[in-house]
Structures are given as C-alpha cells and as structure tokens.
Amino acid sequence: MTSRLEQLKQYTTLVADTGDVSLIASLKPQDATTNPSLLLKAAQQEQYAGLLQQARNGHEGDAGQAATAFAVAVGLEISRLIPGRISTEVDARLSFDEEATYAAALQLIGAYEAKGLGKERILIKIASTWEGIRAAERLEKQGIQTNLTLLFSFAQAAACADAGVFLISPFVGRIYDWYKKSTGQDYSGLDDPGVQSVSRIYRYYKSNGFNTVVMGASFRNLGQIEALAGCDRLTISPELISQLAALDGPLPRLLSAEQAGEARIELNEAAFRWAHNEDAMATEKLAEGIRAFAVDQRKLEALFA
C-alpha cells in the first residue's frame, strides 16, 4: 500500500521545516523554510563551517550584516536542492517597525539577486503583527511575495488575507502547547485546538475567494498532520516526514475548497488589535515567539562578533 506520506502529497504540498541541506536532499520537498532558530542550529554544523567563515570575512565588524549574509548563503544552498521556494525571515526585532521590516525585506531580496537567485524563488518571512502585515502588503504590490509567520489568531489570518499576502504559516503545535498547559488535558485529531484553528482559517479563505495560501506549521505529532490533509501546504520537520513515509494505511482528505466557511470580515488597526488582544493564547504565543526568535538571532550574531 502507498505510504501515508505519498497519500498526503496527493492533497497537500509539503515543505521541509529545516535548514539541513543533507536532509533536504534526501527528502526532496517542493519548498523549504528557515528561521533564526534553524539557522543557529545550522551554524553549529560542520557542513556550514565554510559559509560561516565566508560571512564572517565578508562583513567583519558588522555582526548583523554577517548574519544576514549567512542566512542568504544557507538559503542559496537549499534553493539548489528544491524546485520551489526558500523562505527567509526578517529579523524578529523589527516586528513592530513597518519601515524597518520593509527595508530589511528589500535587503534580503537584493542579497539573493546579487547571488543570482530571483525574487520568484523567495518568500520573505515576516511576523504577523499589524506592522508586519502592512509591510508585507507593500512588498506584495511590488511583486515580492511573503510568508506571514507566528500566526495564532483568526484576526491575524483575516488581516493577512485582506492585505493580499501570498502565504501564512499558522502554528499548530504552539497553539496545542498553550491549550494543553492551560487546561491540563491532552488533545488529538480534530479535537486539537491547533488543528481547529487552521481548519477554520482554511475554510474562511476558500469560501471567501482569498488566494492566500494556508501552510500549517509547527507540528508536534502525526495526528495533527493527518487531521489537516488537504490543507494547501504543510511545513513538516524531517523526523515527522520520515515517520509518515514509514506508515501505511489510508489517509483521507479532511480539508477541501468546497467546504463552507464564515462570512468575510474586514479589520482596521483598532479592530485588529482588539480582536487579537481578546485571544489570550494568540497574544501570549505571538509575544513569546518574537522574543524567542530575537534571542536566537542575537546568538547567531554573536558567532560573528
């Protein structure tokens, strides 16, 4: 029987959630995504020692620029192994500064283009703050496509769709983590709050004709992935991809574009901030995620100091 991984690929585009080029070469995903945490991990691996040194030599005395150069170098290595796109993240410390986020995105695109990789192969990852969404809206109008990350609330998803962003990455596992800790109970399958959040967003987008791609991210177990079979894309760790490849048995499609969703809503800044604020989980996890990525960004820069 066909493995569950191969069945999933019939419904959903798979993206590798790793910066390890050897794993990407073996898994052969369509796209790949990185973040400061994955880049920090990559920087400590022997296979990246040469890229690390090149970035250090090329930007001596400027740890921030060296870290950016390293991120682009890793992205270039990955891009050679995949047919699709590489996602590269803007510094999380810029999450509440629209102008700085916009400028950093242009710098990343420029750095890639200088190395021969066009913007059609790149997604700029930006935190789903109000400021990040506004910066993404401006980038999209210039043909630079974006991946809005650290997305936890329905308000964030609705605002991203209104802004015309290319793709969102709702964090299934982190939503699950919050509810498990908050309630003291475990969740599985369709009862998982992370699965329910992504399913709601997916149906809202499809029923209202939004073109924004929904890419579930941050998975804790196979049940979460299987419950989202049919989602536009799923970004999955190499460990979970390997587990799916080793399993047989039927994997039904649970999400499809024909399913009914909620009526469209439009949010101005005040309405967005209030709706997001009303979701305690989303408020806490967004702040926590930004802080954690900022910590890893500083650790990465310390390697070049």
Give catalytic residue positions.
125
Q: Taking each helix axis as running N to C, give the angle between helix 193-207 and helix 172-183, from 0 to 180 degrees, rounded to the nearest 10.
A: 130
Q: What is d(CA 122, CA 167) in angstroms, rounded to the nearest whole number? A: 12
CB 154 within 8 A of CB 193: no
Q: What is d(CA 20, CA 16) in angstroms, rounded to the nearest whole number? A: 10
CA angle at 176 for the pair 189 and 86, rounded to the nearest 5°? 95
Q: Calculate the alpha carbon distances from 112 to 6, 68, 95, 135, 228 in Å.
A: 32, 11, 22, 19, 33
Q: What is d(CA 184, CA 182) in angstroms, rounded to the nearest whole number? A: 6
- Taking only Cα atoms into account, the Rg of the chain, rounded to an integer number of angstroms, comes to 19
